Structure 1
Amino acid sequence: MNTPLLILTLTLHLISGDCRAPNFGSPGNTLNVSCHYAAKYANMQKHFCKVMEDGQCSMRVSSRENISDTTQNHSRFSLTDYPQQMNFTVRLSHLRAEDTGVYLCGAQNPEPPFNRVLVGDETHIIVNPVIGHKGDEAKLRCPYEVGHQTYLKYLSRGECASTGYVLIKTELRRQARASQGRFSLQDEREGRVFSVTISNLTAEDSGKYCCGIETLDNDVLIELLLTVALASTSPSHTSGPYTSRPSLHSLPAITAEYLAGSAVVMSVLRVVVMLLFALGVAVFFRCRRTQPPQVLRVTQVPEDSSQNHADPIYQELD
């Protein structure tokens, strides 16, 4: 039985608004991000952190040490400082969908007091495409700027340049969640990322989407291309009522165990047969020794004149 897979490719790009263009990367690939700073921060330690749902900035890497990613047992983030050029570069490898978000570049005094300061502009990273399975769900993440926390968010179907059909939208400024059919919106205001989850994915979900934030001036829009491609798992070799036989590579362990057991059984049966044969022979000869043989003799009766042909009489003699 073929299991269709749904591959969703989301290509995002900034359409309008005062936001800086985000940095895009593909899952599993590498992305380089540059952070510029003033000359007075040249001798300070540098770091790169991600703004989390609770508003705290979680350290990803610093010039002092690389923070290891325990789920992969190696560091996916590395930092290289170029003091003469007054910038440092962060390299993100093996990108994942959850790497999408808002990041901050910072500096810290190498000696007490260990004051941390932000340097340069904040960085928005978006990882695409997002891959999902038919019948499952996919999450579309959209980071945004400081000050847009209470603005209305929405997701529409179609190009951002045209008026598309709004699939889901927050109706009140204080509203952080919304739900409409298969679509649900969650605004993580502390982390400054709002996401739309599409459940029960189908092939018809393919097309362009527009992720938007209503501002006092022009809306901040990000266009998303949702590409649905059907793929198949490994083909089945069954046909009709017949089933495929197991591969020979899966048999050695079972065969060895089976043969070992069969050898033991055959040895036991061989011994039992030999014992039964020997017992039968012994009983046969014992019976012949204990029972005397019976002898049959023939006695000729004299001829009678009235009888021409007389039958012999058999007598049993001891």
Structure 2
Amino acid sequence: MKAVIIIFIFITLCLISGQVLCFSVFGCTGGSLMFKCMYKKESKTNEVKYFCRDRSCKMGISADVQSRWVYNGRFALYDDENSRFFTVFIRNLSREDYGEYTCGNNQTWSHDVTLVEKKESRCGTSVIRDGYLGQKTITFRCEYDEKFKTHTKVFYRLNEDPVHVLNSSRSSQSSEEKFSLSDSRKDHFNVTIRDISAADGGVYLCGVERDGSDPSITHITFIKEIQLNVQGQTCVQVQAYSSKSVFISCKFPQEFKGNKKFIQKDSQKKIFVDGQNQWVRHGKVRMFDDSSEGRLKVFISDLTAADEATYRCGVNIPDHDLFTEITLTVNQVDHFPASSNTSAIIGESVKLTCNFPEKHDETFTHICKENKEKICESISSSEEKRFEFSAGPAGVFTVSISNVSVRDAGVYWCGAETRDTHLTSVSLTNQHQLTLTMPPVVGREGDSSEIKCPYDGNHSTEVKHLCKGKCFTPDAQHIIQSDEAHVNNLMISVKYDTELSLFTVTLSDLRAEDAGIYWCAVEGAFNLPIELMIVLKDAPFTHEASVGGSVSISCKNVRSQTQRLFCRGDQPNICVRDGVRVSSDTRTNGRFSLTDETSAGVFTVNISNLTEEDSGKYWCAEETSGSFVFTEVHLYVTQETTSPDPERETSQDEEKSGSSDFCLRV
């Protein structure tokens, strides 16, 4: 044990009674001290008694009553009418307690107090312990310095007064008594209290008897203070909802963290957790004995009316059980929305909307994520900073997840968390399936594009796959995997970055047919979709028109059975997401209209009543099952009508025949 510097207090008391009698008593900072001041032979027992630093007695105490304790702050005095002494008790000693004191009556005794420093490893400690009504035993450990191994050990209780409870010199210390003391005679003694009741709560002191300079006068140095809090067996109301789940966490004293935990429904047989730090399943009930925190975690899924019961969440102690009683109510009216599917782009943020049971008292908003065993546990503390809660309308709250990454994909549950002294319960209400995508990749025909596949660091040694179509399905087209050679395919190259947990595939000499949805995958772990968009190389096409006039733009189809789109935006992916003006489904939109000319293999977009603000970059697009091919168009609208540029514009007939430079081939 690490040595610490302890301040000891030496109080030297000198009694003048024909001769001078002096003795010293010892205490330590943070500890307490008890000693006796002997009467002079001629003193009267009913006179005022003092223990004071000066005549004002501002530092100390005086009393003119007998047979009861008198207090002045940290000082207490007890004048025993049946003895020739009075007892002084000082609690929480400090450096300020040095100086000269007087002990006696009418200040006929003079005393010296000396404060010194000494190194000690055990002194002045204070601890808090929890006990429970009906608990069979609770044991306190009181450490002392080895030099006191032959001294008498004492155990006091402070209620209203210091009460002597145990003394190791007594011979009748039976293990069946309410209190029992066992001394190691080396460096500690143990005190056990049996059959804990509410009356046992309070402050206890561990101490050693020691001699002063006069061997006939002993005193007690208290080296440890223990606050015992006695809790009743509690019953907690937990409300949950039909078809949903409930999570319950029961906390027990650290001294029982190694004991077996159990759950018991009504008067049925106890279900014990076999093994610690792993989930154990018993039907729909799953349990986890968390030895590090001294908790039993219980998860009950797919709740029905049959799950309504009184449960005991407990720990097994020899000849006794310590438990919290739980009354579980399953509300059959499920007014919460069904599960929802939400998609998020990696690196961006996403919001999940949750319901909050308004009738719950003293509850907290809660979100958790299912693990592999489909048990919904709280988000780890290292991730909490990315989850932000905000209140909405009555009974609704929103959870925002920032900087979304691969590890965030999965099933989430929202709910209401209720906290009790020894129990936390979470009633889950909403389920969210969160899927992730990467930002679209845009490549130009004939060029190269990189498809970056991030993965969870936990999968660094597992085989990574890239497929066109969802991997491990019959229709998936295998592109590459991390454990195979790819040197024979000059159109594909692979790069690995273990520090960034990134698997990058480069596709060269892109073609229109390369457009589509690609999937990065680790079998059994995740499938992450990435969209590859292709821009045809014979672009951009430029068209000029006048303010107030109209323009017709013919876009050539390169694939059949596709959805046609026309939109505006700096990038094709932004154009599709935010700027679609007309499409095969919406052929008219204000000044924009779309016409299919199947026989000519084109679709034509007309824009009327042009303004200068219509100038900009547009895209003709074809889409099939998430596969996009684009042709870039630049439109310039000017105040005056301009003559056609023969190199940039041909006749309308030539456009329709497919030979025009204005035909946007997709």
Same fold (TM over 0.5): no
**Larger Cα-atom Rg:** 1
TM-score, length of structure 2 as denominator length: 0.19
Which structure's residues are more often strand, by fraction?
2
Which structure's residues are more often helix, by fraction?
1
Larger relative contact order (Cα-Cα within 8 Å, sequence gap ≥ 6): 1
